[in-house]
Amino acid sequence: MLKEIGTYLDQVSTLALKIPSEDIEKIAKILLDTYHAGGRIFIFGNGGGSSTASHFTCDLAKGTVAPERPRLKAICLSDNIPLITAWANDTDYTNTFGEQLKNLVERNDAVIGLSGSGMSPNVINAFRIANQYGAISILLSGFKGGEAVKVASESIVVPSEDMQQIEDVHLMLCHIIFRIVRKRIREGKNQE
């Protein structure tokens, strides 16, 4: 059992180190640009990605609060279960995030979708709507990015086919991005 634990931790560490730092910095810059433009950040996913979306939203919305600085506006589209089930029931599950975005998304916003496989139709449809409205769509995925990587404006793809390890790395990425954003907001700096 100890060998299995060590192997798992080694594999996740190796995966995390394969993500280019420049890609992480690029996503952090997009979120900072969105913040400075007064835009909002919408985050969503299914299953484990939904949990990570809620966690990331909490970190961004509360953890970036700084005295005499505007507040970062982060909203998790995975959290409103009645609205998700209403769209799924009355239309189709593929509309659960996109239809929410149609009510809210604007040009200066960023939209972050988590899909381990990159094949989640509701994430892909939400990206199409975000793009249509002029927002920036960002994918956190695994495998080879699936169909979602073709639709998203930007993406980070964890090079793995192990869903749990992909989700582990996604949470690490969210924490790293959050810490960069928090630091820059507290310093009162735009990212050049």
Higher pLDDT, 110 or 191: 110
Domain definitions of the chain by residue range: 2-187
State the Cα–Cα distance between residues 186 and 115, nearest whole angstrom.
Answer: 30
Instruction: Provide the 3-class DSSP secondary structure of residue 81.
Output: helix
What does the pLDDT look like over 114-136, one tens digit per residue?
A: 999 999 999 999 999 999 999 99
Instruction: Report the pLDDT value the prediction gives residue 189, as an integer from 0 to 100.
Output: 63
Question: What is the pLDDT averaged over residues 66-87?
Answer: 97
The DSSP call for residue 46 is S
What does the pLDDT look like over 153-183, one tens digit per residue?
A: 999 999 999 999 999 999 999 999 999 999 9
Sheet order of strands, 136-141 included:
73-76, 40-45, 110-115, 136-141, 154-157
> Which sign, positive or negative, has the C-alpha torsion 180, 181, 184, 190?
positive
2-187: in CATH 3.40.50.10490: yes
